[in-house]
Every structure is written in structure tokens, then in C-alpha cells.
Structure 1
Amino acid sequence: MGTLSSLLFLLLTVHSVNALKCYVCASTTSNQECNKNLQDCQAPMDTCMTTVGTLGGVTAIVKTCSLSKLCTSAAAIASVDSSGNGFQVTCCNSYLCNYSGAASVKLHRWLLVLPLFLIILLFTQHT
């Protein structure tokens, strides 16, 4: 019985070597700059989420680890109008899959906050 307990303890404490890793950023001036930050996603986060918001020619990128359901819901309601203003959300679930994004970003504090409010709103509706 001691061996079984030890094996169970070992399985519970060992982290998967193949854990999802995403690029993450909240306030960068370019996608290249954003891609300097890596994060191991902790359970239950199983998706890399990229939000690109554009308003009046100003673009901001937010990249984070997310729940698949949350990311999919955000992507379903995201939209961009004919002028190019709005939000695009992309979801992926393989190692460093969220590499792509806008080539450059002109930061505006309000645009950085809007995607976070969207995420919080979606998360509170699904809990």
C-alpha cells in the first residue's frame, strides 16, 4: 500500500513536460516586443488567446493564457466594422501558437483596458 501511495503522490506532484506555453503581453509597442514574454499556462488554462483592438488607427494587442470556452466565446462576439475599428480574438492550443499579431502597436491606455473588461465580462457570464 505504501508503494501505491508513493506513486499517487508522485503523479500528483509531477508537472507535465508538454504543458501549454503562450506568448503573453498587456502593454507592448509591437508584436515582436510582445513575443519576448513567454508563460507556462497553469491548469485549467488550455488555450492561447490573442485580442487585437483597433480604434481610429490605434491598435493594441493583448495575449494571454485562457480557458478554451472563454476564448471561443470572446472570438464569437468580436467584430470589426468596415472602417477597421473593433476587436479580433483568436484562439489556439499548441505550443507558442500565438506568435502572429499586429506588426506595430501605438498604445492607448483605454484600448488596453477594453479587452480586459471584455474578458472579465465573459468570464462572469460563464460562471
Structure 2
Amino acid sequence: MKAFLVALLAAVLCAQQASSLFCYICDNEHSNWNCMKTYKCEDHEKYCTTTYSTAGFGKDVGHRITKKCSVDCPETNVNFGMAAYSTKCCSTSLCNFSGANSIRINYAVVLLGIVGSLICVLRVGL
């Protein structure tokens, strides 16, 4: 019996851990509620990612969410004023439940761009 337990323990310790990462997936959806489908990632995919993008101004702002499994962790957070793009990643199963909606259009950057453009136009006209 001891030999069996030792052999069992050795087998458990020597066995490679199987990848069982599950992520929520969706592609270019308008709402996080459309991103509730689960998917078993491939063994080489170690991260779940959520990409959230927004573009437009005022009431014409559009939002898009993409969720998927990923080999690497490409975290980004870019804000161009009227367009913003953010990617968050995590490494536990179903960790990408919520949308990465912490980015917002920066109206101060938009205003600064408009003022700068006006100054350039006024200086050229003088």
C-alpha cells in the first residue's frame, strides 16, 4: 500500500498542469452584456484581455468592446481627445467579466486642440 501511495504521489508531482484558462469572448460589441460567452483558451494563451474603445463627441459617442484569450498582456491606455482605446488583461479564469470602461473622452484635450487650431488660424491670417 505504501508503494502505491508513493507511486501515486510521484505521478501527481511529475504531471504537467493542464491549462484550463477560460475567458469571456466577444468581438466589437456595443455592450458588455453581449460579451458573456465563455471560451476555453488554448494552452499557449495565458491571459484574458478586454479592449474598450470609444470615439465621437457629445451624444454621438460610440463604444466598442472586444474580449478574447491572448498569448501576451498588451495593456494600453491611449486617449486622443475624441477617441480613446484601452486594453486590460488578467490571468485567472473568467477574470475579464467587466468592460475596461475606465477610459473616457477627454474634453479638455478636445478644447485645447480647438483653441490651438484657432490660434494658428488667427496668426496665419494676421
Identical-residue share of aligned pairs (%):
31
Amino acid at match of 2:97: Y
Higher strand content, 1 or 2: 2
Q: Which has the larger radius of gyration?
A: 2
Q: Which residue does the alignment assign to 1:80? A: 79
Bigger relative contact order, structure 1 or 2, given CA contacts below 8 A and separation 6+? Answer: 1
**Hey, which bits of structure 1, 4+ residues long, moved more than 4 A?**
none
Q: Which residue does the alignment assign to 1:40? A: 40
Structure 2: distance between partners of 1:90 and 1:46: 13
**Displacement, 1:82?**
3.9
**Displacement, 1:44?**
0.6
What is the DSSP-based 3-state SS (H/G/I as helix, E as strand, rest coil) of the residue aligned with 1:101? coil
TM-score calculated relative to the size of structure 1: 0.57
Q: Which residue does the alignment assign to 1:61? A: 65
Report the count of equivalent residues.
Answer: 84
What is the DSSP-based 3-state SS (H/G/I as helix, E as strand, rest coil) of the residue aligned with 1:86? strand
Structure 2: distance between partners of 1:22 and 1:31: 14
RMSD: 2.4
Amino acid at match of 1:90: K
What is the DSSP-based 3-state SS (H/G/I as helix, E as strand, rest coil) of the residue aligned with 1:96? coil
**Displacement, 1:86?**
1.8
Gaps in structure 2 of 5+ consecutive residues: 1-10, 102-126
Structure 1: distance between partners of 2:30 and 2:55: 16
TM-score calculated relative to the size of structure 2: 0.57
Contact 1:31–1:102 (CA<8 Å) still a contact in 2? Answer: no
